[in-house]
Amino acid sequence: ILGGRTSRPGRWPWQCSLQSEPSGHICGCVLIGKKWVLTVAHCFEGRENAAVWKVVFGINNLDHPSDFMQTRLVQKIILHPRYNRAVVDYDISIVKLDTDINVTSYVRPICLPNKKHSVEPDTYCYITGWGHMGNKMPFKLQEGEVRIISLEQCQSYFDLKTITSRMLCAGYEAGTVDSCMGDSGGPLVCEQPGGRWTLFGLTSWGSVCFSKVLGPGVYSNVAHFVEWIERQIYIHTFLLN
């Protein structure tokens, strides 16, 4: 995260780290159920074998495992069948864990939005991750507040890429607060009335975040995929066992 700040441990209990040896943290991810995690499809490019991955929950400092940490292996990776790596559209995937997580204060699922519940432009939301900070990779989870930007306005920043309805843009023209390499798959969450937090986006792509080319970040629009997510969870829970 560029322009963010270090998070307090447990503040974002749905944030997880998708890890693979020998590199360790590769991408962010989001807990949506006891056995289910969302991330983006591009995290698995060239690494689609579930056996090479593990998912770490309840962690704040990647370098210092905490007592609240839970680790699970990956049983199944479900990539969106329309994922297109050339244009980074339909950039979403579901990860089935080998066993349920234990819900604690530090490990809790986020709510999914309703199918037609899109977040309005100018809403302020939060992004989190262990991605690049512009000058270094952090050990501690970072958080940043970003503003939702309309698709039309977002398109004007990215002449060479088409911004589709499967995407959501958030950030600032000057790129002051933005996601960066290593944040991919992590959450963009907004607080709803009643203090409940809902997952509206997954960090997907943007300009080279610490270069001269700035602009907002582009996130996978979770509301667009809710029906697909629910169906995949149903199929892989009840029908394909």
Partner 1 sequence: CINSTCSGSCGSSLNCETHQNQTNCGQCEPITLELCMNLPYNYTHFPNYLGHRTQKESSISWESSLFPALVQTNCYKYLMFFACTILVPKCDPQTTQRIPPCRSLCELSKERCESVLGIVGLQWPEDTDCSQFPEEKSDNQTCLMPDDDVEECSPSHFKCRTGRCVLMSRRCDGHADCEDDSDEENCGCSQRGLWECPSNKLCIKHTMICDGFPDCPDQVDEKNCSSCKDDELECANHDCVPRDQWCNGHLDCRDSSDEWNCVSLSKSVNSTTFLTIHKSAADYHVCADEWQEDLSQLACNQLGLGGPYMTETIEDHDQRNRQNWLRLHSDWKNKNASTFHELLVKGQLCQSRQRIALLCTKEDCGRRPAARMNKR
Residues that bind partner 1 (CB under 8 A): 8, 10-13, 22-23, 32-34, 82, 86, 105-106, 108-112, 155, 158-162, 192, 195-198, 207-208, 211-213, 230-231, 233-235, 237-241
Of 17, 89, 91, 179, which one is the catalytic site residue? 91
CA–CA separation, 212 and 208 (whole Å): 8
Task: Give catalytic status of residue 63 as yes or no.
Answer: no
Q: How far is the CB of 16 from partner 1 (least distance, A)?
A: 15
Cβ neighbours for 203, distance < 8 A, ≥ 6 positions apart: 28, 40, 127, 129, 131, 179, 183, 184, 185, 186, 187, 188, 217, 219
**In this complex, which beta carbon is closest to partner 1, that of residue 48 or of residue 230?**
230
Least gap, CB of 6 to partner 1 (angstroms) = 15
| Comparison of 53 and 157: residue with beta carbon closer to partner 1 | 157
Would you give the distance in Å from CA 203 to the centre of its chain?
Answer: 5
* Structural contact between residues 88 and 72, judged by C-beta atoms closer than 8 angstroms: no
Helix, strand, coil percentages in the chain from 3-state DSSP, rounded to 5: 10, 35, 50
The least CB distance from residue 150 to partner 1, in Å, is 14
Give the three-class secondary structure for 140. Answer: strand
- CB closer to partner 1, 56 vs 88: 88
Which is the catalytic residue, given 7, 25, 42, 132?
42
As a whole number of angstroms, the distance between CA 49 and CA 68 comes to 27
Q: How far is the CB of 38 from partner 1 (least distance, A)?
A: 13
| Of 180, 184, 172, nearest in space to 215 by CA | 172
Catalytic annotation on 91? yes
156 is catalytic: no
Nearer to partner 1, 4 or 206 (CB): 206
Alpha carbons 115 and 223: distance in angstroms, whole number: 5
**Active-site positions?**
42, 91, 184
